[in-house]
Amino acid sequence: MNFLKAFIEDCKYYDLEEIEVKSILKYLKKDQTILDIGAGIGRLSFPISKYAKEVIALDNNEELITYFKKHKRKNIKFIYMNIKDYIKKYNNFNLYIFAWPVINIKLINLIEKYLPKETILIIIIPDNNSDYETIINKLTKKSFKKDKEKKNKFLELLTKKFTLIKKRDINTKYTYPNEKTAFRVLKNAMKLWFNLKFNKTIDNKLKEVIKEHEKNKKIIFGEKIYFYVLKKK
């Protein structure tokens, strides 16, 4: 399965109740413009566009160009450009969304520099200890200690660089209709995000993890996220 198909499937079963979207909408006023940084397939851009004047879905993955051409919407504009280059030139938005980002300290410094004074910045980051986030730890002995330390440093930096309006812990989840679907999607996701090489042993471990999360004939993995609402200092 290629990157785009795996990405679409991974998003398909996440947050079916749109808790993230509803949380963002609390900070969006009518006819405002939004910059969705690292928009991916527009998991947030599309539902939020119903309430916004315009959404710029910004991403530097070339594979997404075709995807957005197939899923056109009047007030969504996909921009294929390096994030750093774009926000230096275009930053006049009412709301920035930076959801599930690749942890990049330099990028946060850049956002701080070019963020307009009245613009709200929403950053959404998953907790490493969530049911979903710990799947990888049960499949491989590979250490992710450095990644966790980098994320903690990133989170500490947010309140130093920006004025904190609000921080919430939000509980969302991945909901799969059955074990077979969960296995297929999770296997592809582990390959996509962690470059994990599968064999029979790891296959069986994943199947065991999936069985542990069966609830009412569905497979459910809880996902705790940190929801930050920030402004320029």
Beta bridge partners of 34: 55, 95
Across the range 132-137, mean pLDDT stands at 92
Q: 5-40 burial, b for 16+ CB within 10 Å, e for fewer?
A: ebbebbbebbbeeebbbebbeebbeeebbbbbbbbb
> What is the pLDDT at residue 1?
64
pLDDT, position 131 = 93
Checking if the pLDDT of 211 tops 90, the result is yes
Question: Which SS3 state, helix, strand or coil, does residue 205 take?
Answer: helix
Percent of the chain surpassing pLDDT 90: 83
**Which pLDDT belongs to residue 180?**
98
3-state secondary structure of 211: helix
Mean pLDDT confidence for 198-210: 97
Span between the terminal Cα atoms of the chain, in Å: 44
| 28-60 pLDDT, tens digit each | 998 999 999 999 999 999 999 999 999 999 999
Q: pLDDT tens digit string along 140-184?
A: 987 677 888 889 899 999 999 999 999 999 999 999 999 999 999
Average pLDDT, the chain: 94
Interval 3-32: pLDDT, tens: 899 999 999 999 999 999 999 999 999 899
The domain spans of the chain are: 3-232
- Report how far apart, in Å, the C-alpha atoms of 228 and of each of 82, 122, 162 are: 24, 6, 10
Say if CB 206 and CB 187 are below 8 A apart: yes
Q: Check residue 33 and give its pLDDT.
A: 98
Third-level CATH fold of 3-232: Rossmann fold (3.40.50)
